[in-house]
């Protein structure tokens, strides 16, 4: 499941403005485009306002739906942009945020499971098990504990706790219907906050049976108009 979530996150485009949105909001002429504005540290690029009130990106000339941001690493605008993840080599946004969160969660679980499998190495070194108990736990194997086994336990536990904190952070972000970029806005409440239950359903789907699968929920895809619209109150559901 870790590999499946990783591939889903890495190979899924975060989503850009759909064709129907671009057709309904054509980019006005006269935009001073910044060619080649991609890469680290390019800074914020102020979008321009079209005649119909729609924002348009000054760099890629694309209409920008609400919560759409320009990613300076890929040079494209991403729906509900969260961040660029160098570990998966892809931008995290509307279409791959769910598999990304699941990838973090499953990787943390795998790290703790690896530490559990190597627990006897730690028990032996700490004196909680004798060498005979250690061999008995391994089924009489002649395997001798070494530095590699102890390092595996320490690294797995450290990795698991770090990812657990990262997972808790993103679950908080999802439950408040915000993103990493939006959360950096000075602690202001998200205007899209529908309550923890509705917020999580918008990310993981309304059917809890599919919450642990790295698939985008059809109901959320329809309700958000392919990522171009986000409700601002439960009453508008």
Rounded Cα distance, 225 and 65, in Å: 11
Contact criterion met (CB below 8 Å) for 113 and 128: no
What value, to the nearest 5°, has the Cα angle with vertex 198 and ends 5 and 15? 45
Rounded Cα distance, 219 and 197, in Å: 15
Q: Which of 60, 85, 117, 169 is catalytic?
A: 85
Q: Is 61 left (phi over 0), alpha (psi -120 to 50) or beta?
A: left
Residues in the chain: 237
Distances (CA, A) of 168 to 29, 104, 105, 173: 44, 10, 9, 9
Active site residue 85: yes
Rounded Cα distance, 161 and 156, in Å: 9
Rounded Cα distance, 76 and 62, in Å: 9
Active site residues: 85
């Amino acid at each position: 499941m870790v590999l499946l979530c990783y591939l889903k996150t890495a190979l899924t485009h975060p989503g850009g403005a759909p064709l129907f949105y671009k057709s309904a909001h054509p980019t006005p002429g006269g935009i001073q485009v910044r060619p080649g504005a991609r890469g680290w540290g390019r800074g914020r690029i102020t979008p321009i306002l079209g005649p119909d009130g729609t924002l348009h990106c000054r760099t890629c000339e694309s209409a920008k739906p609400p919560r759409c941001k320009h990613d300076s690493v890929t040079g494209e605008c991403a729906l509900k942009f969260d961040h660029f993840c160098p570990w998966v080599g892809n931008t995290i946004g509307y279409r791959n945020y769910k598999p990304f969160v699941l990838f973090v969660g499953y990787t943390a679980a795998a790290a703790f499971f690896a530490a559990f499998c190597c627990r006897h190495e730690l028990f032996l070194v700490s004196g909680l098990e004798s060498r005979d108990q250690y061999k008995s736990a391994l089924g009489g194997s002649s395997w001798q504990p070494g530095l590699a086994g102890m390092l595996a336990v320490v690294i797995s536990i450290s990795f698991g706790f770090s990812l657990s904190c990262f997972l808790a952070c993103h679950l908080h972000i999802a439950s408040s219907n915000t993103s990493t970029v939006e959360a950096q806005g000075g602690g202001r409440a998200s205007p899209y906050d529908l309550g923890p239950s509705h917020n999580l359903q918008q990310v993981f789907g309304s059917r809890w049976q599919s919450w642990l699968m790295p698939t985008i929920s059809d109901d959320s895809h329809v309700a958000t108009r392919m990522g171009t619209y986000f409700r601002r109150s439960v009453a508008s559901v």
